[in-house]
Amino acid sequence: MHIDEKLTPILAEVLHRNAGEDEFHQAVKEVLGSLGRVAAKHPRYANGALIERLCEPERQVIFRVPWVDDQGQVRINRGFRVQFNSALGPYKGGLRFHPSVNVGIIKFLGFEQTFKNALTGMPIGGGKGGSDFNPRGRSDGEIMRFCQSFMTELHRHLGENVDVPAGDIGVGGREIGYMFGQYKRLTNRYEAGVLTGKGLTYGGSRARTEATGYGATYFVQSMLGTKGQSFAGRRVSVSGSGNVAIYAIEKIAEFGGKVVACSDSNGYIVDDHGIDLALVKEIKEVRRARISEYAAVKSAAHYIEGGSIWDVPADVAMPSATQNELTGKDARTLVNNGVIAVGEGANMPCTPEAVRVFQEAGVLFAPGKAANAGGVATSALEMQQNASRDSWTFEQTEARLADVMRNIHDRCAETAADYGAPGDYVLGANIASFLRVAEAMEALGVI
Ligand code: GLU
């Protein structure tokens, strides 16, 4: 990735100040790689250390989370909240519970979130949080006690006009419910807008669960449309089998595509008849089990332990599991097998080398901060419903989501063309989002 010489000192400072935080370095490099053209066109953004300020979180909170397991043993995890940027609105972004979580990962996610949220056009700043807690195999009681302890510290940093968390990997409706309950109890306030991704019985929005996967599929459909193509009749691979993957699979099928593979961290399944989504939902959402169980039920499907889902030939690939899951080697395999479009359902799932391989091969490529923005956009719609004490229908909410995704697509495409790189959605997303945050920061003065 070429970084403009005006920006190299900024990158050097980020690398130095955040030593060892590889994912954060990667995310900053990717954005700075696009900003050379902005610095050339609008030299004023070099003043006021605007880009430097954007790379430094406004606030970072790290705390101890003690809890008691079912055997009565006291356990300790580490909790994080990185409040990255509030120029456009309250900090907004999910919580991730996964053993890999550390401050560098949360910082990369918070940085990405700031730009993603700006792209939605909604009044939300960027933040991210979570814990190195591993929910796998934990009982409901253990999950509840962990969530309550986590919120006991985090609640003092939140508020519907301050910071509004939601879910991410390892945090879904169940965890949000326990955290909302504890927030309400500690503050003695029914402040629905303090968390999003809530259940429908206590202030959640319809279509929020589906939104990230649906939104990513809408984005890829628009992108395919620019080349006169669509999902209809296409073979698609979707990695992961969590919330994003499940609802991407659902929408792709609605658009006439055939999803033939999905995965979890242990392995992947291939079903040439098209993935049976009801079965995946039953395994993942009800049984909370591993995807290998799919092949145990469906004899026509194969389960491959380990290995790479990207070895499966596909026309469209939607990496929807986690960061850096699709490598340069995987990208070359997909290109050799004729892939025409790649849409990132997860945050930064393609390595920089993989992105380069796709772009050099002329494959349509949608970066996560644009393609997966439908989740957080629908969170902003949930905040709107909470603020007006209203609740919209599924159709109304999905129509708003579809509209937001179309706008993001068009804005990225137009910005890329304006800056001399038509079809480069990475550049378009980075510049369009940077301009929105930068203009607001400029207006607010040196803060
Ligand atoms: N964790 C999701 C994301 O990566 C959603 C965040 C939210 O809804 O606040 O965008």
pLDDT band at 353 (very low <50, low <70, confident <90, very high): very high
Name the domain boundary from 304, 337, 371. 371
Residues 219 and 102 in one domain: no
For residues 176 and 245, membership in a common domain is answered with no
Whether the CB-CB separation of 213 and 245 falls below 8 Å is answered with yes
392 part of a folded domain? no
% residues pLDDT > 70 (the chain): 100
Q: Is 440 domain-assigned?
A: no
In the set 128, 184, 198, 251, the catalytic residue is: 128
- Find the 365 Cα to ligand 1 centroid distance in Å: 21
- Ligand 1, closest atom to CA 109? 4
Query: Which CATH number characterizes residue 87's domain?
Result: 3.40.50.10860
Domain boundary among 54, 72, 89: 54
**Which pLDDT belongs to residue 244?**
98
Ligand 1: distance of its center to the CA of 74 in Å?
Answer: 30
Residue 43, pLDDT score: 87
Instruction: Identify whether 265 is part of a domain.
Output: yes
Euclidean distance between CA atoms 138 and 73, whole angstroms: 13
Give per-residue pLDDT as tens, 363-376. 999 999 999 999 99
Give a yes or no: residue 431 inside a domain: no
Instruction: Dump pLDDT digits (tens) for 197-230.
Output: 999 999 999 999 999 999 999 999 999 999 999 9
Domain identity same for 31 and 64: no
Q: Is the pLDDT of residue 430 over 90?
A: yes
Pocket of ligand 1 (CB under 6 A): 92-94, 113, 116, 166, 168, 196, 347, 375-376, 379
Same domain, 336 and 222: yes
- Together in a domain, 224 and 181: no
Lowest mean pLDDT among 36-50, 112-126, 161-175, 296-310: 36-50
- Say yes or no: 123 and 33 in one domain: no
Rounded to the nearest angstrom, the distance between the alpha carbon of 43 and the centre of ligand 1 is 32
Residues 342 and 221 in one domain: yes
| Domain co-membership, 181 together with 329 | no
pLDDT of residue 301: 97
Q: Is 46's pLDDT higher than 80?
A: no
Quick check: is 87 in a domain?
A: yes
**C-beta of residue 56 within 8 angstroms of C-beta of residue 49:** no
- Residue whose CB lies within 8 A of the most ligand 1 atoms, among 128, 168, 382, for a mutation test: 168
Q: What is the pLDDT of residues 49-67, one digit of tens each?
A: 999 999 999 999 999 999 9
Together in a domain, 29 and 82: no
% of the chain with per-residue pLDDT over 90: 97
- Parent domain of 14: 8-54
Q: Rounded mean pLDDT of the chain?
A: 97
Tens-place pLDDT, residues 391-409: 999 999 999 999 999 999 9
Best residue among 101, 113, 210 to mutate for probing ligand 1's pocket (most ligand atoms within 8 Å of CB) is 113
How far is Cα 242 from Cα 263, in angstroms, rounded to an integer? 9
| Within-domain flag for 29 | yes
What's the CATH number where 316 sits?
A: 3.40.50.720
The answer to whether position 90 is within a domain reads yes
Q: What digits encode the pLDDT tens for the residues 70-122?
A: 999 999 999 999 999 999 999 999 999 999 999 999 999 999 999 999 999 99
> Are 70 and 165 within one domain?
yes
Catalytic site includes residue 107: no
Residue that is last in its domain, among 314, 337, 371:
371
Total domains in the chain come to 3
What local confidence, expressed as pLDDT, does residue 184 receive?
A: 98
Identify whether residues 232 and 344 lie together within a single domain: yes
Question: Is residue 322 very low, low, confident or very high in pLDDT (cuts 50, 70, 90)?
Answer: very high
Task: Encode 303-328: b = buried (16+ Cβ within 10 Å), e = exposed.
Answer: bbeeebbbbbebbbbbbbbbbbbbbb
* 45 has a pLDDT exceeding 90: no
Nearest to 32 by CA among 440, 431, 415, 355: 431
* Residues 182 and 277 occupy one common structural domain: no
* CA dist., res. 414 & res. 343, Å (int): 18
- Binned at pLDDT 50, 70 and 90, residue 47 comes out as confident
For residue 37, tell me if it sits in a domain: yes
Q: What pLDDT shows up at residue 286?
A: 94
What are the pLDDT digits (tens) for 242-255? Answer: 999 999 999 999 99
Measured CA to CA in angstroms, residue 301 lies from 90, 250, 291, 316 at distances of: 46, 18, 11, 20
Atom of ligand 1 nearest to the CA of 197: 8
Give residue 44's pLDDT: 87
